[in-house]
Amino acid sequence: MGRQVVFSGLQPTGNIHIGNYLGALRNWVRLQDEYDTIYCVVDLHALTQPQDPVVFERERLEAAKVLIAAGVNPERSLLYYQSKVPQHTELAWILGTLTQMGNLNRMTQFKEKSGQGSANLGLYSYPVLMAADILIHHAHKVPVGEDQTQHLELSRDLAERFNRRYGEEFPVPEGIIPEVGARIMSLQDPAAKMSKSAENLGSRVLLLDDPDTIRKRILRAVTDSGTGITYDWEAKPGITNLVEIFSLFTDTPIGEVVNEHSEKQYGEFKLLVAEAVIDGLAPIRRAHAALEDEEVKRIMQKGALDARSSAEGFQVGVREKVGLGG
Ligand code: AMP
Ligand code: TRP
């Protein structure tokens, strides 16, 4: 038996923040020890929002570079751009024929984004392409943040539906969603998740932010009234979010963090959090500065070749089952 396969994807637009890192990316890196890991910069998904082509191309390269700097090792993981492997979209079409519109109408991400007035067919079928991303590689495990659970559920349904209709083909994929860190909240509004697209730059810390910026963002984070460092999402979401960030960056269990710092003033604790984030991100900034664009481009080209050949290996079986083999 070979190792199980892990697959995950990240959209290349906007800057990667510590929510992406703590919820997903950090686990991507760790899983390289135990699994065959496949990571994808999902550029076609990003096209569901309007993009300036020149900026988009640059952001796509930048996303790949940040992934590598954060520890995705191209010698251990398959890393590539989704658009370079057309088997993804081919499988998405086939899976689309198994998808009920009712399933897609229920997707909260679609409801949110289409409510902002930018609904298009790509946005609607976004979760089907995501299912294809996962299933094309016969992945078993999918490390993601909490906001992807509904999409993941559809991927599982589609795997089962395909297997029932055409015969056993796909493993039914399971999420790897961390107990702590799956939903890092905005530093300016602890009721909203930290997001790449929020207008207020103060709401997030980016993976490549310099120490001064990080300090400023954390010290200005919205905290709750009262004093004392506690872990309580209901009563003190602002400080709880910082406790979680601190716990993850220092690899200290939440209980220990709270015990040790319960008496501290908010300002004092924020300084500690800022230093922990600065220290945690320093190696990523250093690795990023040392990486040449040309090297990243070579890595991504090689990744695309390998991913195409492995995806094609599986897709042959899918075509045969559906009656598109000959
Ligand atoms: P995206 O930027 O939407 O491509 O997300 C990349 C990964 O980061 C996905 O696995 C998301 O679930 C995860 N993610 C995004 N925002 C957060 C957040 N605020 N907290 C934890 N994980 C997140
Ligand atoms: N929808 C995911 C996000 O916004 C990105 C994504 C696309 C993905 N395809 C995937 C994640 C496959 C995991 C597996 O974060």
Residue 118 — pLDDT band, cuts 50, 70, 90?
low
Q: Say what the pLDDT of residue 326 is.
A: 87
Mean pLDDT of 222-227: 86
Same domain, 136 and 218: no
CB distance 17 to 194 below 8 Å: yes
Model confidence at 261, pLDDT cuts 50, 70, 90, reads very high
Question: Residue 311 maps to which CATH number?
Answer: 3.40.50.620
246 and 230 in one domain?
Answer: yes
Answer whether residue 72 is part of any domain: yes
Lowest mean pLDDT among 117-121, 154-158, 222-226, 285-289: 117-121
Cα dihedral 283, 286, 287, 289 in deg (nearest 10): 160
Same domain, yes or no, for 304 and 255?
A: no
Using the atom order of ligand 1, give the atom closest to the CA of residue 148.
12
- 196 domain-assigned: no
CA 133 from chain center: how many Å? 13
Q: Is the pLDDT of residue 203 over 90?
A: yes
Residues contacting ligand 1 via CB (< 6 Å): 10-11, 19-20, 23-24, 144-145, 147-148, 182-184, 193-194, 196
- What pLDDT shows up at residue 1? 61
68 lies in the same domain as 123: yes
Residue 184 lies in a domain: no
Confidence of residue 119 (pLDDT cuts 50, 70, 90): confident
SS3 36: strand
- In a domain? residue 115: yes
Question: How large is the average pLDDT for residues 126-132?
Answer: 98
Same domain, 249 and 160: no
Residue 181 belongs to a domain = no
For residue 171 the two structure tokens come to 């493993």
Q: Which atom of ligand 2 is nearest to the CA of 145?
A: 15
246 within domain boundaries: yes
Which pLDDT score, from 0 to 100, does residue 126 have? 97
Distance 134 CA to ligand 2 centre (A): 9
Does 170 map to a domain? yes
Q: Which residues are catalytic?
A: 113, 193, 196
Other CB atoms within a 10 A radius of the CB of residue 234 amount to 6
Are 21 and 154 within one domain? yes
Confidence of residue 143 (pLDDT cuts 50, 70, 90): very high
Average pLDDT estimate for 221-235: 91
First to last CA, the chain: 30
CA–CA dist 170, 185 (Å, integer): 34
Residue of 89, 129, 140, 148 best suited for mutating to test ligand 2, as the one with most atoms within 8 Å of CB: 148
246-262 mean pLDDT: 97
Spatial strand order in the sheet of 77-81: 77-81, 36-41, 5-10, 141-143, 174-176
Residues 69 and 159 in one domain: yes
Closest CA to 45 of 93, 84, 99, 9: 9
Predicted model pTM: 0.96
Mean of all residue pLDDT scores within the chain: 96
Q: Are 276 and 246 in contact (CB under 8 A)?
A: yes
Rounded Cα distance between 18 and 76, Å, is 23
Ligand 2 site, residue 236, Cβ cutoff 6 A: no
Both 162 and 237 in a single domain? no
Pairwise CA distance, residues 228 & 258, whole Å: 9
Residues 11 and 102 in one domain: yes
Task: Tell me which residue range forms the domain holding 123.
Answer: 5-176+293-322
Number of domains in the chain: 2
Task: Answer yes or no: do 217 and 270 share one domain.
Answer: yes
Q: Whose CA is nearest to atom 11 of ligand 2?
A: 9
Name residue 206's beta-bridge partners. Answer: 17
**Helix runs in the chain, H state only:** 18-20, 26-31, 43-46, 53-69, 87-96, 101-105, 108-115, 121-136, 149-166, 211-219, 237-250, 254-261, 266-290, 293-322
**For residues 164-183, average pLDDT:** 97
Q: What is the pLDDT of residues 27-73, one digit of tens each?
A: 999 999 999 999 999 999 999 999 999 999 999 999 999 999 999 99
